[in-house]
Structure 1
Amino acid sequence: MTLTTQTTTDTQTTTDAAQITAEGSAGPTGRDAWLRFRPADPALDAEYVHRWLTDPGAHHWQMGHLSLEQVRDYLEGIAADDAQDAWLGEESLDAVPGEEPGPADPTRRPLVYVETYDPARIVLADVHHVEPGDRGMHLLTAPAPADRTRRRHGLTSAVMRAVVAHCRALGAHRIVVEPDVENHAVRRKNREVGFEELRAVELPDKRAMLSVLGPRTRPEPNVELDETLRPDSEAPHLRPEHMVQAQRHLVAKALAEFSHEKLITPVPDESRAQAASHQSAIPDGDTGGIRAWRLEIPGASVHRFRARRLRLDHWVIEEESILRHDPVEGHQLPLDAQELVVELQDRLGIPDALLGTYLEEVSSTLSSAAYKHQRGGPSAAQLARGRRDLDAAADFQQTEAAMTEGHPCFVATNGRIGFSLDDLRAYAPESGGRFRYLWLAARRAHARLELSAGRSEAQHWEDELGTEALSRLHARLDALGLDPTEYALLPVHPWQFQHRIAVSFAPDIARRDLVVLGEGPGAWQPQQSIRTAFDVEHPGRSYIKTALSIQNMGFLRGLSPAYMRATPAINDWVATEVRTDARLAALGFDVLREHASIGYTGDAYHRASSSSDQQKMLAALWRESPFARLGEQRGQPMGQDDRAGSGERLMTMAALLHRDARGASVAAALIGGSGLEAHRWLAEYLRAYLLPIIHCLEVHELAFMPHGENIILRLRDARVTGVFMKDIGEEAAVIGPRDLDAEISRMRHVIDDDEAAQLIFTDVFGGVLRHLAGILHTDGVLDESTFWATVGAVVAEQEEAGEAEDVRRRRRLDLRVRRYAQSCLNRLQLRNTRQMVDLSDASGSLIYSGELENPIGR
């Protein structure tokens, strides 16, 4: 490609773009330098740009309503902004005899308007992980002639290639574009010249497809590419560069977590110790210095790596340091998580009959990680800062989709056996996609809608569907000659309908015990808990959680109608306990009630005497939106019009353990943005998260499952002000002999004080805080000694508050024991990857391996 840059004045630069040299030319008439770019002149060019913007073909620009004067003002604004530039591309009239010349040059005709911009400062500042040399680009071509005989085949493609050449000449390392997701014509042209579509992103005026043309990608000359013939077009995330990163990360996690659970025992590698020792930045006398380690698997491989070994036997491995060698020949082998599992099968204790299932879950986890690597995401700083240009709900959901880690303890976290490639793109939380629920009508003799106390069915449907949508669904029953009063409405995930309901419940549909009504309202975005979705069009409406019968992390993700029946009553009881507690209110702690549920039991599976997975295929629940709760607490609604930064933000707690593509952590970025010392930020977070969990155990004998996906943080100015706890119906438990109505008595799981304290040690210390401590320690934000000293100080606050509380404490948990039993989560999944825990006896299903020294012990 030949690029010639000419400086015509001190302030004006023009670029001639000749697309091909020896093998032909890129212009549609075969002439070099056929298209030249100059800075747009508001006085001279506003008329052209105005006429092009008001053409119907430019509707995606959303500027067709502007007057000529407004377009001139717009161009003047760009000229005054050092973050963006406007250009006019002029075609040589030698290439198109008979065309009218432009005002700036009588030998050339304006053909294309281009904007280039710094994506780190405008348009993509909150969504794109910018690299040095990134340049954004917008393009608008002159309208095609009304006379079809004058239209030139291949002109738009040639213009696209010329614009790319212009951006390269301006110094662009990568070119970034963000066309409307519905602008399929432009997206096709972008792909034609080599742009790679990464992901859909929310911008203030549109939902855009973020796409990047990398530094080594060059546009093809005059080639209409068939997408079906493009290499990797079906699965671009499965290219080697993405899978290599996924393999390295998962091998590091496997080595770390299997070592933590004492399934494997790496030993110091003296041959590399000296090389690693100079890299340690840990203060003298502290733990966690970098050391070289070796794991030898006889007859299979040797893994060498550098790592810090922190308190709670937490391993922080330097991923780039991992090397795998043949133990006999000594040559280097590629890192391979599946091979590592096969080589360690005996040590891991995986039954032969389940090895294939576990390997498939590992492969799916690798595929998901490669997909996340390929599509990129916002930086840790962007996530910590939040969206300044969008409503609070869009900001919340951007973070939800950006998470890459999954569960911090489990190795195989994204099994999703049953999902296809299209399903990954449509329904996985990392896709950030939207879908619509399919609605069924279930005959009331076989289905019952359960509601929270004081809530009517009419009120429920008004709040969750709206009058118009409800009437539309009822009209479909009327059209079939069916009485809507004889049916209850039931939302179904589209994947579940296609793969399970339409097949496994075919007789029920045929006899119209189930009636398919079609899609309902809303645009639903999958959450990290993959069965749950958030309505991005109506943020105040409830989440919907439905059965999704895929194998994932040791369970088939069904939903039991029997469990659903008591869910609203359980949530009412829990909400009353929490919301009438003054201390919990002062700590900013609240729950999101699952206030409605429905399940279908008219099938043959429920008439069988034995239980089966098929009995958990058709049920749903509605959970309060955190935006509805914030509104109630403020005494006013909070919805789409609330801007991020105007008050509190919401963020999944999983984000505190998230690192972006460059390894930067959200937790460190939040601390940096808060203006607080790290230990003070941590103490505020612990008061909002840890203290309420301890308080609920001690005062209410109420236990939750407080991992990162189940907690939503409330943030103000990057500081944690409170939390919402969710997933109550299936996972909350009463751990003492409290009086409970028969309807909710299944919540009772009586345990002693030591086991109650173990819930904190396992779920909070082991499941969350040891990982956060490792991140902050490694990043040099807060050393682990100060981290755990802060945890101890906050726990002491609870002990002191307990003495002053005007509430009888039913428990007094001793969280200062010197050592406690180590509960091992991966061992559960490795023992039985299809059902790792018996939900009827969760405590009895646990596996322990020795003890850990309590980092806040006496």
Structure 2
Amino acid sequence: MTTTTRPHRPDAVDAGSPWTAPPRPGTDLGPITIEPLDPDRDAALLHGWVTSPRSRFWGMQEADLETVRAAYAAIDADPSHSAWLGSVAGAPAFLAETYDPARSELAQHYPVRDGDLGMHVLVGPAERRVPGFTSAVFAAVMDFCFADPAVRRVVVEPDVGNRLVAAKNAAAGFVVDRLVRLSDKTAALSFCTREAFRTSALGPEPAERPDDSAPHLEPGVAARAHRHLVTKALAEFSHERLLAPRRLGEDRWAVDVDGGRVRYTFAAVHHPLEHWVVEAATVGRTVDGEPRELDVLELVVELAPVLGIPDTLLGTYLEEVSSTLASLAYKWTSAAASADDLLGAGFQQIEAAMTEGHPAFLANNGRIGFGRRAHDTWSPEAGRPQRLVWVAARRTLSHFAAARDVTEEQHYRDEVGAEGLQLLHDRLERLGLDPADYRLLPVHPWQWDTRVAITFAADVARRYLVHLGETEDRYQAQQSIRTFFDVDRPDRSYVKTALAVQNMGFLRGLSARYMRATPAINDYVADLVRGDATLRGCGFSVLREHATIGYTGSVYTRLPAGSPYQKMLAALWRESPVPGLAPDERLATMASLLHRDADGRSHLAALVRGSGLDAAEWVRRYLRVYLRPVAHCLLAHDLAFMPHGENLIMVLRDHAPARMIMKDIGEEVAVLSADRPLPPQVERVRAPVGEDVAALSVQTDVFDGVLRFVAAVLDVDGLLDVHRFWALVADCLDEWEADHPELAGRLDLRAPRFAHSCLNRLQLRNTLQMVDLTDQASSLIMSGTLANPVARAAAR
């Protein structure tokens, strides 16, 4: 045996003794030990293991004894790679390998971090199966890896076809980050942190059933959440001119309510676009001159006459605010990752870490209908991968629509795999039903339990709808709550499901009728984007919603159009961004630019510092991949998106934006011209408006809806003066005009002023349905105009 220092050597091994796994309650297999493998002594044993039919993914099926001995002698001589022999109750039972990913083929496919340790494990074939044996071995190997305090994260790269290992990885807390093409296989690159393993099903402290006492709702955390939301209400209601703060002195303001009986005081500064930066610590409330605690629900009631909430909807709005309060307390209580930690985090860890919903809306996490247990299971901040329910829908009572390059049969094979598809078909056949008579519909388990099995009871009883249960893949809820990312196979599509919860002014259903045209609309937009040289130059792309399914067989179909009961059984599939990633690229929701961790530290500031760029250069790159393509789509193609933070995915390279990916196309894209030719099946997205309203798709949705918040974060954190920020925005638009003189002046994004479109006013007017999705422009509520921070110098 060599004595070269290895990257992973627990103390017991260095002392010359086998390492012994800590005992696990309920496991009675005897002691599990691990010791260095001796290639000469153990070659015959290994040969029998690696050539077993069960070990086909080990890649040594045809190896002879000398080949096996030589392979492990080479590992023994490699200071970055170690092989270990594991025994159970004194009998050799498994092989483990640990290695330094930085010295392996994986280094070409992801940025290796300090504390990463690669791992392989192979359980030897046994004469009889012992329940729990493989799980105990796998847990012991993970304990062994983390026995070295320098190890922070275990890395594995199993063959994508190895479903048994995928299941064990998932049980141990691994999350698939991406698929990578290695020299001998397509691998599911996966990571497991100490914390993820500790609370996994195989870990020493497996996560228990959620605590029914709602421990996040404790006085100190709730008081902090009230302060945060009161601060936000004062800032955003003042921005929308629902409130008119009165100046008390330099940067000191007051809002009087109920004839002055209630008073709020605070320190704040004004930024462009009438953005109020309110200092949370300074907010105070008095009633009849006596100090009172801050309470966002009391604030809403006190301001109700000013806010204009209809009496019949005040209770609903208060419930949405209460849910937002509870969600914020949950996020702060459970948040483990700091803003700096997120620099090296995976896409889905970032998605789950977000503590702020839509930055403008006060009630942005309503989720009316979810109970505490459902929230702890299905909310994005819970970050708990779950399995979806599959329902078979009678083919004659449903529709399926797909992009031009997608067939129905191949679509299902791609999304659940051949084995999963056969499993679902077998369940139908066991009921005496012909799979050819049905389509497959993914359903949110909460939706099945609380709505479909009750509201559609007649259809279930007639077997128009058939419950088929779960398949293997686990999905994680995204910020949009009804959309799911496949954490076990990230190359597979997102799944967007109907969900009958009330959230941010809408019941989160999906219309089967409305989605018939969705794939065709997505094909049109994707073709346009791919065919535009400016958009290609920005690296701008879209994720197509390439397949939809809807159930149309219920009595609710005959209700007047727009009934929420027509939006309870439908789903769509959206392309994943993972297959298009380069090895040096990583993903993050653009919403993360506005994220502050539980200690108030900004993730945007961490990105800027981590990039090594000065803040102005970082912002230039960001605007080039975000503002430039969005503005170009409008000015060159009359095409408007809904480009808020949750609808864009940043592709980061060295912590700086390299390109952007737009999603949520079918419901929110619009062609704002009456004259631009459109294919007949895409005509639904035509929404002709005047030039001033068309310009608002950038002025309101980008300047006011996103950039004013980004500017404030950078200014407050001392990275970039807010006026310098807006000068960079003007520069970005100038550069676009210089590159496209033939289009300059079509719409004036830099007019001196633009209409002040107010979002909270929409929700306050009707918290059940803020806008008519078929005619969004007519739903807007304006409050005068705003001075344009990028107005041309001559107009300033």
Q: What's the TM-score once normalised by structure 2's chain length?
A: 0.76
Counterpart for residue 782 of structure 1: 720
Q: Is the 8 A contact 2:172 2:197 kept in 1?
A: no
Q: Is the 8 A contact 1:700 1:810 kept in 2?
A: no
Counterpart for residue 734 of structure 1: 671
Q: Is the 8 A contact 2:399 2:552 kept in 1?
A: no
Equivalent of 2:19, from 23, 28, 50?
Answer: 50
Equivalent of 1:686, from 623, 631, 652?
Answer: 623
User: Distance in 2 between the 1:62 and 1:651 partners?
Assistant: 43
Q: Is the 8 A contact 2:500 2:509 kept in 1?
A: yes
Equivalent of 1:244, from 223, 230, 238?
Answer: 223
Shift of 1:69: 9.8
The amino acid that maps onto 1:748 is R
Counterpart for residue 237 of structure 2: 258
Counterpart for residue 548 of structure 2: 597
**Are residues 663 and 205 of structure 1, via their aligned partners in 2, closer, same or farther at CA, if it must alter by over 3 Å?**
closer
Map 1:55-204 to 2 at 5 A. 64-67=33-36, 203-204=192-193
2:363 matched to 1:405?
Answer: no
- How many residues are aligned here? 630
User: Alignment partner of 1:465: what SS?
Assistant: helix
**Are residues 743 and 325 of structure 1, via their aligned partners in 2, closer, same or farther at CA, if it must alter by over 3 Å?**
same
Q: Is the 8 A contact 2:21 2:32 kept in 1?
A: no
Map 1:214-253 to 2 at 5 A. 234-253=213-232
User: Distance in 2 between the 1:711 and 1:381 partners?
Assistant: 21
User: Distance in 2 between the 1:584 and 1:597 partners?
Assistant: 27
**Are residues 183 and 204 of structure 1, via their aligned partners in 2, closer, same or farther at CA, if it must alter by over 3 Å?**
closer
Counterpart for residue 134 of structure 1: none
Deviation per CA, 1:596-622: give whole Å up to 9, x if none.
000001000002345411000000000
Shift of 1:454: 2.6
Counterpart for residue 702 of structure 1: 639
The amino acid that maps onto 2:608 is I
Equivalent of 2:197, from 184, 191, 208?
Answer: 208
Deviation per CA, 1:530-574: give whole Å up to 9, x if none.
110000000100000010010000000000001111111110111
2:742 matched to 1:791?
Answer: no
2:335 matched to 1:376?
Answer: yes
Shift of 1:451: 1.0
Counterpart for residue 320 of structure 1: 281
**Are residues 69 and 734 of structure 1, via their aligned partners in 2, closer, same or farther at CA, if it must alter by over 3 Å?**
same
The amino acid that maps onto 2:243 is I
Shift of 1:757: 1.2
User: Distance in 2 between the 1:624 and 1:811 partners?
Assistant: 35
User: Alignment partner of 2:706: what SS?
Assistant: helix
User: Alignment partner of 2:633: what SS?
Assistant: helix
Counterpart for residue 525 of structure 2: 574
Shift of 1:58: 7.7
Counterpart for residue 480 of structure 1: 431
Shift of 1:447: 0.8
Instruction: Tell me which moved more, 680-689 or 734-743.
Output: 734-743
User: Distance in 2 between the 1:652 and 1:827 partners?
Assistant: 26
Q: What's the TM-score once normalised by structure 1's chain length?
A: 0.70
Shift of 1:251: 0.5
Map 1:281-296 to 2 at 5 A. 291-296=251-256
The amino acid that maps onto 1:666 is H
Equivalent of 1:350, from 309, 324, 329?
Answer: 309
User: Distance in 1 between the 2:770 and 2:727 partners?
Assistant: 34
Shift of 1:50: 2.9
Counterpart for residue 830 of structure 1: 764
Counterpart for residue 590 of structure 2: 653
User: Distance in 2 between the 1:772 and 1:66 partners?
Assistant: 53
Counterpart for residue 781 of structure 2: 847
2:403 matched to 1:452?
Answer: yes
Counterpart for residue 119 of structure 2: none
Shift of 1:352: 0.4
The amino acid that maps onto 1:266 is P
Deviation per CA, 1:95-140: give whole Å up to 9, x if none.
xxxxxxxxxxxxxxxxxxxxxxxxxxxxxxx9xxxxxxxxxxxxxx
Counterpart for residue 177 of structure 2: none
The amino acid that maps onto 2:335 is G
User: Distance in 1 between the 2:23 and 2:444 partners?
Assistant: 41
Q: Is the 8 A contact 2:587 2:650 kept in 1?
A: yes
Q: Is the 8 A contact 1:442 1:515 kept in 2?
A: yes
User: Distance in 2 between the 1:181 and 1:627 partners?
Assistant: 19
User: Distance in 1 between the 2:620 and 2:744 partners?
Assistant: 26
2:734 matched to 1:745?
Answer: no
User: Distance in 2 between the 1:498 and 1:61 partners?
Assistant: 42
User: Alignment partner of 1:293: what SS?
Assistant: strand
Shift of 1:521: 2.6
User: Distance in 1 between the 2:339 and 2:550 partners?
Assistant: 40
User: Alignment partner of 2:256: what SS?
Assistant: strand
Q: Is the 8 A contact 1:653 1:708 kept in 2?
A: yes
Shift of 1:66: 3.7
The amino acid that maps onto 1:318 is E
User: Distance in 1 between the 2:585 and 2:13 partners?
Assistant: 45
User: Distance in 2 between the 1:672 and 1:266 partners?
Assistant: 36
User: Alignment partner of 1:236: what SS?
Assistant: coil
Q: Is the 8 A contact 2:19 2:34 kept in 1?
A: no
**Which structure 1 segments of 5+ residues have no match?**
1-39, 71-125, 127-179, 185-200, 212-226, 274-290, 388-394, 635-645
User: Alignment partner of 2:459: what SS?
Assistant: helix
**Are residues 205 and 463 of structure 1, via their aligned partners in 2, closer, same or farther at CA, if it must alter by over 3 Å?**
farther
Shift of 1:64: 4.4
Shift of 1:292: 1.3
Shift of 1:855: 0.6
Deviation per CA, 1:378-425: give whole Å up to 9, x if none.
111121x223xxxxxxx0001000001100000000000000001111
2:333 matched to 1:333?
Answer: no
Counterpart for residue 507 of structure 2: 556
How large is the RMSD of aligned CA atoms in angstroms?
2.7
User: Distance in 1 between the 2:492 and 2:744 partners?
Assistant: 36
The amino acid that maps onto 1:708 is G
Deviation per CA, 1:800-839: give whole Å up to 9, x if none.
1112xxxx75972212211111000000000000011011
Shift of 1:309: 1.2
User: Alignment partner of 2:588: what SS?
Assistant: strand
2:600 matched to 1:663?
Answer: yes
Counterpart for residue 417 of structure 1: 368
Q: Is the 8 A contact 2:12 2:19 kept in 1?
A: no
**Are residues 64 and 528 of structure 1, via their aligned partners in 2, closer, same or farther at CA, if it must alter by over 3 Å?**
farther
The amino acid that maps onto 2:333 is Q
Q: Is the 8 A contact 1:265 1:295 kept in 2?
A: yes
